[in-house]
Chain A
Amino acid sequence: MSVDQTIFEYSSPGRVGVALPESDVSSAGAGELLGSDNLRDDLPLPEVNQVDVIRHFTKLSLANYSVDRGFYPLGSCTMKYNPKINEELASLPGFSELHPYQDESQAQGTLAAMYATQEYIKAITGFDAVTLQPAAGAQGEFTAMMVFKKHHEKTGQGHRHIVIVPDSSHGTNPATAARCGYGIKKTPSGPDGRVDLDALKEALNDEVAAVMLTNPNTLGLFESQIAEICAMVHDAGALIYCDGANMNAVMGWYRPGDSGFDAMHLNLHKTFSTPHGGGGPGSGPVAVKGFLAPYLPVPNVNKQGERYFLDYGSRDSIGRVHGYYGNIAIVLRACVYILSQGGDGLKNVSENAVLNANYLMSKLSDAYEVPHNTRCMHEFVASASKQKELGVKALDIAKRLIDFGYHPPTIYFPLIVPEALMIEPTETESIETLDSFIEAMLTIAREAETDPDILHSAPHNTPVRRLDEATAARKPVLQYNPEG
């Protein structure tokens, strides 16, 4: 379905999409009350009647691919099914129509759910304290790095100004550390795709504040020497942070807090099934060891007897990272999800996520190169290097997958694998879905040999074809202009 009009083109003077009441009070007019100096001349918003508003956005929705429409193996993003009960319960008016500054006695239900979620996260990750405030994964990282910075400041280690990130890390890791005023040192991965311990040892010294590590890492491999790594980092007087983007692989099997990590974040929109929303709202709670708890953002939810309250107590807190308490409606969805699964259920989630990924890898590793072709965790990274020799890039394979009705994997990440295709099926997909996807991938590998042009010109049946991204960046058009 292609959409040819913007909302502005439905506009005609005098139309409106909702009926509003007349004023029921006698006061002077708003213009007079505000004073003419404070008034704008014109309000150039569109004027559209309700049916056109609904049709326009319905048409737009049909131009989207989504999890509810089909398989979405976008590596690192954990595009699992978003249960409908989460949406329904988090939207109950008792939750949605609650103001954040109402007296705590009027918010006991929401506070109880927040407190419970903090406790569940502690149980799942093996840490001692949790903040729900960060609005997304990247803000969770930022919060954790500020907690580290504060700890160093308070313990006379403020001179530490370097953060180490492996070359396979998410881009948010170095960007976050830089925002905290840290310099970045990048360490290479070893030949097995894991942290190179010698290189890490070499990089560690008393200028290093922290190491940021994703475990399982972005190649879908568990860092088997994690206990040694954490010990090594601590011996150097630094702290170690776990990017929890890949927690979906290990629930009930591994708790980062048990292996020596000092802090981690979770992406509720990945592991805990809250919807991705076309790019947010997410939620990125941070869990820390007890010695870091005093530095977490305030307020936190606490409990005294049976009464829940917002705790502003910690004087060493880094402060606020959000205007209020975080993305609470998202936290509620995650809370519903955790309770729908229980401990055994979450363990079962990770088992099936890992099984599905290994099954896909086993079926694809003949046709595609898989650089670290051992066992993977919840995702694996294939490479289109064989196809590249035939003039077909990872991008072409991705676009051709769209023709077969799939969302493509993450491509060109991690940066250390050339022509990377990062595939994460998640646990919610059936063997039939996986088999059809495998069939498509094998067909595409054959097409790369026999008919590469069909890959170069893909996708073929989408609302639009490949886009001119270079012109978009060179001559930016960032808002609707009626003159065209």
Chain B
Amino acid sequence: MPYIANTPDDRRKMLQSVGAPGVADLFDQIPSDVRFSSELDLPQAMSEIELRRHFANLANANTSGQQAACFIGAGIYDHYIPSTVPAVVGRSEFYTSYTPYQPEISQGTLQSIFEFQSLICRLTGLEVANASLYDGATALAEAALMASSITRRSQWLVSNCVNPAYRETLATYSWASEYELVEVGQSGVVTDIAELEKSIGDDTACVLIQNPNFFGSIEDIAKIKAAAQAKGALLVVSFDPISLGLMKTPGELGADIAVGEGQSLGLSMAFGGPLLGLFACKQQYMRQMPGRIVGATSDAEGKLAYVLTLQTREQHIRREKATSNICTNQGLCALAATVYLSTLGRSGLRRVAELCVEKSHYLADRIADLDGYKVLSGAPFFKEFVIKCPAPIAEINARLIENGLIGGLDLGKQYPEFADCMLLCVTEKRSRDEMDALVEGLRR
């Protein structure tokens, strides 16, 4: 038993000290009528050699981004992860510690979260950020809950151009918390602003927008902000952190709360988790924020130090009156994002964003020239765009994977009006050769 040190001899010694004849006596508190008396129905224990073989076989049963060029996005992205990220995140001083309850021996975690918060503020142009939430979908739901508690209004207005999985998560949370979720339609590949303006009412707590939206297109946030503000509703913007290497910040665009999926910042796709919920807001809403927050202070000798703060918002103090039931953050994922942003820095993140824009437009232009295909994304787009295809998407994708290409998302499942349409994504990792191969694959 490699993870248990007690030898039979140790056990005897310890039982003697405890005053129990055998280990079974320690389980006396479990009455016989509820005690489990058979054997757990699990496979035989495996050695490391057997585990390695078993899991290598499973991993090989997948067709991963190692074997094929990934052109699918829709919320999870195949961005490049610099070697610094796994080097730092793989340090067990970070990954085998826990929530920094004892700040004197947790300054590593605390300072890195403080730096994370600082980086997210700078990225989003907002004044405060928390230590992260589970993922982009739940961060959006937490933002809506927070908007309702700030405005004391109960309706959440969400654009249909927000990631469908996020909207499904919002629907779950709104039902549980007994708020009303209203969806606003799209016009082409952007939010129908006229419909949105009509839908905002006196009970609208927030307008929830994604920018760039699910289709990759840039929304007219200024107009949406004006409409929300006119009715006293808060503006919540879900952003792609990579796009903020170039694009106007949620803060500049008037967002009251900005949330996003941080997976692009140094986390692998990992079949969709673990992820990283980014959450920032205006200063005035600081005390309504969910989740952990780290602040700077000084120690008994006046030295700068970091600590979990504003804890009177949280469940372990406020219990049922807490701003959220969330306990921990996504600590290690936030660390990965901190290392990612530190490594790329000002010029690196801008470069990644530029490559996304330039390459995706190159691919869109090439596809537009193909017979039978049409690019539906008219508005400016960042790294994703919609194409109309001459055949069912499943058929096309089955053909592409034979050539080592993972094709785009079949939009028809979520958007009936986009039947036979594909959402394609191009990150900085895609080479011209891969894109040309995709074009050839589509042509056939």
A279 touches B115 (CB 8 A): no
Q: Given known contacts A323-B166, A325-B271, A480-B118, is B409 in contact with A101 (CB within 8 Å)?
A: yes
- Does any Cβ of A come within 8 Å of B365's Cβ? yes
- Does any Cβ of B come within 8 Å of A394's Cβ? no
Q: Given known contacts A92-B59, A181-B176, is B102 in contact with A63 (CB within 8 Å)?
A: no
A17 touches B346 (CB 8 A): no
| A390: min CB distance to chain B, Å | 22
A198 neighbours in B (Cβ, 8 Å): none
B295 touches A476 (CB 8 A): yes
Interface centre among B66, B97, B102, B271 (most CB of A within 10 A): B271
- Does any Cβ of B come within 8 Å of A367's Cβ? no
- Does any Cβ of B come within 8 Å of A160's Cβ? no
B297 touches A471 (CB 8 A): yes
The digit string for A394-426, where 1 denotes a CB below 8 A from any CB of B, is 000011001000011010010000000000000
A252 neighbours in B (Cβ, 8 Å): 36, 39-40
| A255: min CB distance to chain B, Å | 5
State which of A26-34, A199-207, A446-454 sits at the interface with chain B. Answer: A26-34
Q: Which parts of A12-55 form the interface with B (CB within 8 Å)?
A: 14-18, 20-21, 23-31, 33-35, 37-40, 43-48, 50, 53-54
The digit string for A340-368, where 1 denotes a CB below 8 A from any CB of B, is 11111111110110111011001100000
B169 touches A46 (CB 8 A): no
Q: List 15 A-B contacts (CB under 8 A).
A: A20-B344, A30-B246, A34-B218, A47-B346, A74-B101, A79-B98, A171-B318, A179-B324, A179-B325, A253-B27, A320-B137, A324-B275, A329-B270, A339-B45, A478-B128
A184 neighbours in B (Cβ, 8 Å): 319-320
B325 touches A138 (CB 8 A): yes
B335 neighbours in A (Cβ, 8 Å): 57, 278
- Does any Cβ of B come within 8 Å of A440's Cβ? no
A4 to B305, CA, bound (A): 9
State which of A109-117, A232-240, A285-293 sits at the interface with chain B. Answer: A109-117
B41 touches A343 (CB 8 A): yes
- Does any Cβ of B come within 8 Å of A155's Cβ? no
A98 touches B270 (CB 8 A): yes
A319 touches B58 (CB 8 A): no
| A2: min CB distance to chain B, Å | 8
Q: When the two chains form the complex, which single residue of B168, B297, B344 contacts A469, counting CB atoms closer than 8 Å?
A: B297
B45 touches A17 (CB 8 A): no
A137 neighbours in B (Cβ, 8 Å): 327
By size class, the interface of chain B is 35 or more
Q: When the two chains form the complex, which single residue of A139, A216, A328 contacts B271, counting CB atoms closer than 8 Å?
A: A328
Q: Which parts of A429-484 form the interface with B (CB within 8 Å)?
A: 429-431, 433, 459, 462-469, 471-473, 476-480
Q: When the two chains form the complex, which single residue of B168, B171, B176, B273 contacts A326, counting CB atoms closer than 8 Å?
A: B273
| B89: min CB distance to chain A, Å | 9
Q: When the two chains form the complex, which single residue of A53, A227, A327 contacts B342, counting CB atoms closer than 8 Å?
A: A53
Q: When the two chains form the complex, which single residue of A31, A58, A94, A226 contacts B64, counting CB atoms closer than 8 Å?
A: A94
Q: When the two chains form the complex, which single residue of A3, A46, A362 contacts B18, counting CB atoms closer than 8 Å?
A: A362
| A361: min CB distance to chain B, Å | 8
A472 touches B309 (CB 8 A): yes
- Does any Cβ of A come within 8 Å of B296's Cβ? yes
The digit string for A223-256, where 1 denotes a CB below 8 A from any CB of B, is 0101100000000000000000000001111110
A21 touches B309 (CB 8 A): no
A398 to B82, CA, bound (A): 39
- Does any Cβ of A come within 8 Å of B419's Cβ? no
A468 touches B299 (CB 8 A): yes
- Does any Cβ of B come within 8 Å of A142's Cβ? yes
B46 neighbours in A (Cβ, 8 Å): 339-340, 342
| B138: min CB distance to chain A, Å | 7
A323 touches B14 (CB 8 A): no
A256 to B104, CA, bound (A): 38
B350 neighbours in A (Cβ, 8 Å): 43
State which of B70-78, B184-192, B194-202, B225-233 sits at the interface with chain A. Answer: B70-78
- Does any Cβ of B come within 8 Å of A174's Cβ? yes
20 further A-B pairs in the complex, CB-CB below 8 A; given A30-B358, A34-B380, A99-B76: A8-B118, A16-B348, A23-B354, A35-B380, A44-B122, A47-B346, A48-B343, A54-B88, A57-B91, A95-B59, A98-B62, A98-B64, A137-B327, A178-B321, A281-B273, A323-B75, A351-B26, A459-B104, A473-B309, A479-B127
A20 touches B351 (CB 8 A): yes
B92 touches A68 (CB 8 A): yes
Q: Given known contacts A64-B106, A96-B269, A275-B95, is B6 in contact with A318 (CB within 8 Å)?
A: no
Q: When the two chains form the complex, which single residue of A11, A136, A324, A413 contacts B316, counting CB atoms closer than 8 Å?
A: A413
| B429: min CB distance to chain A, Å | 9
B20 touches A324 (CB 8 A): no
B41 neighbours in A (Cβ, 8 Å): 123, 343
A265 neighbours in B (Cβ, 8 Å): none
- The 8 A-B residue pairs whose C-beta atoms are closest, nearest first, are A324-B272, A94-B59, A100-B272, A342-B45, A343-B40, A277-B332, A109-B61, A323-B137
A77 to B96, CA, bound (A): 12
By size class, the interface of chain A is 35 or more
A411 to B123, CA, bound (A): 37
Interface centre among A62, A83, A359 (most CB of B within 10 A): A359
A11 neighbours in B (Cβ, 8 Å): 345
Q: Which parts of B32-61 form the interface with A (CB within 8 Å)?
A: 33-36, 39-46, 48, 51-52, 54-61
B309 touches A469 (CB 8 A): yes
A64 to B101, CA, bound (A): 12
- Does any Cβ of A come within 8 Å of B370's Cβ? no
A377 touches B29 (CB 8 A): yes
Q: Which parts of A65-89 form the interface with B (CB within 8 Å)?
A: 65-69, 72, 74, 77, 79-83, 85, 87, 89
- Does any Cβ of B come within 8 Å of A97's Cβ? yes
- Does any Cβ of B come within 8 Å of A166's Cβ? no
A45 touches B346 (CB 8 A): yes
- Does any Cβ of B come within 8 Å of A304's Cβ? no
B353 touches A63 (CB 8 A): no
A181 to B175, CA, bound (A): 10
Q: Given known contacts A39-B246, A93-B66, A181-B176, is B97 in contact with A430 (CB within 8 Å)?
A: no
| A475: min CB distance to chain B, Å | 9
- Does any Cβ of A come within 8 Å of B245's Cβ? yes
B346 neighbours in A (Cβ, 8 Å): 43-47
A175 to B166, CA, bound (A): 23
B111 touches A110 (CB 8 A): no
Q: Given known contacts A17-B342, A277-B95, A359-B14, is B45 in contact with A97 (CB within 8 Å)?
A: no
B275 neighbours in A (Cβ, 8 Å): 135, 323-324, 327
